[in-house]
Amino acid sequence: MPLIEKMARKHKRPVGGSWRMDQTYIKVKGFWKYLYRAVDKQGKTADFLLTAKRDMAAAKRFFDKAMGANGDPDKVAMDKSGANKAAMDTINAGRALPILVRRVKYLNNIVEQDHRAIKRVTKPMLNFKSFRSAGSVLAGIELIHMIRKDQFVFDGAEAMSFADQFSTLAGMIRAA
């Protein structure tokens, strides 16, 4: 996990309990990789994860990361992907109160539209040269996207521009 993402998590506002989860494609070294993303019903980013494969193990890694950082959601809306459903079934197997999984076509429109902001920035880049650099750059893009959505709390943030907020978060890394 890139350092700036790790530091920013300490200042991130909590997200709602109803998540919309989906994945999109990102080209790395000429091959498609998968960017898993989840937003709450207000459109606030819960988490993201770049993976090489789109399978149950990758979906489970994403859910483990997202739930570790944000707590467990009450409900998760997702597409018809069998891998995502299998990952949630595995997570729900060991729980007394299972997370409700909704596979309704139009509930995911929020996250589908949210992908646009990421795609708009990555498309002109004409691919990433390595998986590691893709992960770092995408973490920065997602961080800026979360700043725009007012998802961070620290002293004076409301009076700062997006660039100043990003700079402040980056400065916290150097100070730590």
Strands 18-28 and 75-77: parallel
Residue 13 is predicted with a pLDDT of 86
CA angle 7, 36, 43 (to 5 degrees): 75
Sign of CA dihedral 110, 116, 117, 122: positive
- Predicted model pTM: 0.88
- Which structural domains are found in the chain, ordered by start? 3-175 (3.30.420.10)
| Residue 43 confidence (pLDDT) above 80 | yes
Residue 166 binned pLDDT confidence (cut-offs 50, 70, 90): confident
The contacts of residue 159 (CB under 8 Å, 6+ apart) are none
157 has pLDDT over 80: no
Alpha-carbon gap, residue 99 to 169, rounded angstroms: 33
CA angle 123, 127, 132 (to 5 degrees): 120
Higher pLDDT, residue 89 or 158: 89
Q: What pLDDT is stored for residue 25 in this prediction? A: 92
- Whether the per-residue pLDDT at 74 is higher than 90: the answer is yes
Cα(118)–Cα(72) distance, integer angstroms: 25
Asked whether 84 and 21 are in contact (CB, 8 A), the reply is yes
Which of 21-30, 45-54, 112-121 shows the lowest per-residue confidence on average (mean pLDDT)? Answer: 112-121
Q: What are phi and psi of 112, to 5 degrees?
A: -60, -40
Residue 162 in tokens: 């997006």
Residue 156 Cα to chain centre, angstroms: 25
